[in-house]
């Protein structure tokens, strides 16, 4: 069997088109959705991500305002900028790209962002709303994982779902969203015993570890849907996921590639959250 290659490009384009229609509606009401993007330092991966976010804003019709601060920025100066953006009524979303340099406490910065402008859904208030199933922002990467599964024609209800990785920003919220869709969810991590045996039971397998070769074909059930959240570089510097794509395609039913999968979805879902934020602040 040869697996379906889940097309993150097509699905993310579709979501961006939907966001663009919403942006046009807001424009007709005299509202220009606006995202402030804050980058501290010169981390090369962060620079690429931030650029992709700004380009997507342009495509969708969201104004992006860019704030590039030096590597040695003091915490108080970043907090002052966040506060200024919180107070600015023309800014609907505030995104501070992570990671931050070591002199800055990330938790403090996350707490400083106005929850109404927290388009990353990192603020504990929004995390709480998510975990209690209330309306609010959805975290971009986890929401993107769900869209990839559902828009490629797969249902979650009643399925055995396994998430490898328990990070606050990806693993845990992805598991929560799968649970809300009535999946039966297991979270695996570095201390899990018999990872292979657990993964092999999954109808839907999500890998969010950040390590090459985390998912090999002997860990995958025949016909499973496999979503790769990994962003790794191989020995030749090529961008690769956690999943051995070609091998896993021999047994899986559908696999999302890297690049061309979840990464594009994260940006598309961010656009959707910016529109939600602009509506929330003008409702
Ligand atoms: N760093 C890596 N991914 C993300 C993300 O989705 N949002 C922010 N703010 N920083 C990140």
The reply to whether 246 and 157 lie within a common domain is yes
CATH code, domain carrying 227: 3.40.50.720
Decide if 53 is catalytic: yes
Give the tens place of pLDDT for each residue, 69-106: 999 999 999 999 999 999 999 999 999 999 999 999 99
Q: Is 113 in the pocket of ligand 1 (CB under 6 A)?
A: no
pLDDT of 2 reads 87
Decide if 14 is catalytic: no
The reply to whether 99 and 151 lie within a common domain is no
Work out the average pLDDT over 186-194.
Answer: 98
Confidence of residue 187 (pLDDT cuts 50, 70, 90): very high
- Calpha distance 62→23 (Å, rounded): 7
Paired residues of 67 in beta bridges: 38
Handedness of CA 54, 111, 261, 130 (dihedral sign): negative
pLDDT of 247 reads 98
* Entry pTM: 0.97
Asked if the structure places residue 11 within a domain, the reply is no
Residues 6+ apart with CB under 8 A from 248: 3, 215, 216, 217, 220, 226, 255
- Look at residue 163 and tell me whether its pLDDT is greater than 70: yes
- Calpha distance 117→106 (Å, rounded): 17
183 is in an annotated binding site: no
Give the tens place of pLDDT for each residue, 201-254: 999 999 999 999 999 999 999 999 999 999 999 999 999 999 999 999 999 999
165 is in an annotated binding site: yes
The reply to whether 100 and 163 lie within a common domain is no
- Look at residue 273 and tell me whether its pLDDT is greater than 90: yes
Decide if 97 is catalytic: yes
- Look at residue 46 and tell me whether its pLDDT is greater than 80: yes
241: its two tokens: 């996921």
Q: Which among 55, 37, 22 is positioned nearest to 264, based on CA atoms?
A: 55
- Look at residue 170 and tell me whether its pLDDT is greater than 90: yes
pLDDT of 1 reads 63
pLDDT of 63 reads 98
Work out the average pLDDT over 52-76.
Answer: 98
The rounded radius of gyration (Å) of the Cα atoms in the chain is 19
Count of domains observed in the chain = 2
- Look at residue 283 and tell me whether its pLDDT is greater than 90: no
Task: Tell me the HSE value of 247 on the side-chain side, using a 13 A CA sphere.
Answer: 11
The reply to whether 204 and 241 lie within a common domain is yes
- Which of 143, 169, 170, 270 for mutating ligand 1's site (highest number of atoms within 8 Å of CB)? 169
How far apart are the CA of 39 and the centre of ligand 1, in A? 10
Tracing tokens 């889940």 back to the chain, one arrives at 6
Local structure of 245: helix, strand or coil: helix
Structural domain harbouring 170:
139-263
How far apart are the CA of 57 and the centre of ligand 1, in A? 16
The reply to whether 59 and 143 lie within a common domain is no
Q: Is 95 in the pocket of ligand 1 (CB under 6 A)?
A: yes
ipTM of predicted complex? 0.96
Asked if the structure places residue 9 within a domain, the reply is no
How far apart are the CA of 145 and the centre of ligand 1, in A? 15
Asked if the structure places residue 211 within a domain, the reply is yes
């Amino acid at each position: 069997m040869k697996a379906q290659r889940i097309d993150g490009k097509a699905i993310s384009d579709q979501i961006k088109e939907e966001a663009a229609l919403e942006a046009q509606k807001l424009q007709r009401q005299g509202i220009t959705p606006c995202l402030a993007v804050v980058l501290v330092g010169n981390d090369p991966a962060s620079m690429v991500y931030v650029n992709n976010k700004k380009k997507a804003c342009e495509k969708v019709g969201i104004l992006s305002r860019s704030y590039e601060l030096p590597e040695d920025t003091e915490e108080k100066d970043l907090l002052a900028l966040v506060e200024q953006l919180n107070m600015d009524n023309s800014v609907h979303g505030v995104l501070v790209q992570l990671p931050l340099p070591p002199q800055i406490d990330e938790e403090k910065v996350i707490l400083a962002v106005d929850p109404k402008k927290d388009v990353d859904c990192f603020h504990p208030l929004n995390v709480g709303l998510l975990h209690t199933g209330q309306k609010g922002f959805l975290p971009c990467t986890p929401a993107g994982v769900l869209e990839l599964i559902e828009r490629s024609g797969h249902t979650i209800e009643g399925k055995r779902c396994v998430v490898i990785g328990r990070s606050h920003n990806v693993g845990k919220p992805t598991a929560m969203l799968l649970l809300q869709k009535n999946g039966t969810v297991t979270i695996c991590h570095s201390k899990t015993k018999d990872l292979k045996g657990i993964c092999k039971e999954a109808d839907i397998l999500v890998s969010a570890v950040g390590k090459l070769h985390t998912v090999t074909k002997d860990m995958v059930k025949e016909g499973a849907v496999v979503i790769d959240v990994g962003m790794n570089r191989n020995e030749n510097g090529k961008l690769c996921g956690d999943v051995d794509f070609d091998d896993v395609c021999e047994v899986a039913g559908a696999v999302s590639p890297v690049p061309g999968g979840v990464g594009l979805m994260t940006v598309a879902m961010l656009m959707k959250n910016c529109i939600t934020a602009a509506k929330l602040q003008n409702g």
